[in-house]
Amino acid sequence: MTSRHAPVIPPHMLDALARHGAGHLKSRAQNTLSIDQQFRQPMSARAKASIIHQNYPDSAPGAPARYIFDANQQTRLPGELVLEEGGEPPEDAQVVQAYEDLGATYRFFHDVMGRHSIDGEGMALLGTVHYGQAYQNAFWNGEQMVFGDGDGEVFLPFTRALDVVAHELTHGVTELTAGLEYRDQPGALNESISDVFGVMVNQYARGEDVTQADWLIGADLLAEGVNGKALRSMAAPGTAYDDPMLGKDPQPAHMDQFVNTRSDNGGVHINSGIPNHAFYLIAMELGGNSWETAGQIWYDTLTDERLASDAQFIDFAGLTMAHATQRFGQRVAEAVMNGWRQVGIGP
Residues that are catalytic = 168, 269
State the pairing for strand pair 247-248/242-243: antiparallel
- Please report which helix (H) or strand (E) contains residue 313, including its range: helix 313-328
Q: Which residues are bridge partners to 312 per DSSP?
A: none
Q: What is 23-58 written as a DSSP string?
A: HHHHHHHHHHHHHHHHTTS-GGGGTTTTHHHHTSPP
* Cβ-contact 283, 290 below 8 angstroms: yes
290 φ, ψ (degrees, to nearest 5): -60, -30
Q: Which residues are bridge partners to 84 per DSSP?
A: 67
CA atoms within 13 A on the CB side of 33: 17
Alpha carbon distance 166, 283 (integer Å) = 19
Alpha carbon distance 141, 40 (integer Å) = 10
Burial 39-70 (b: 16+ CB within 10 A, else e): beeeeeeeeeeeebbeebeebeeebbbbbbbb
Q: How many CB atoms lie within 10 A of CB 77?
A: 17
* Cβ-contact 67, 125 below 8 angstroms: yes
The helix/strand/coil state of 143 is: coil
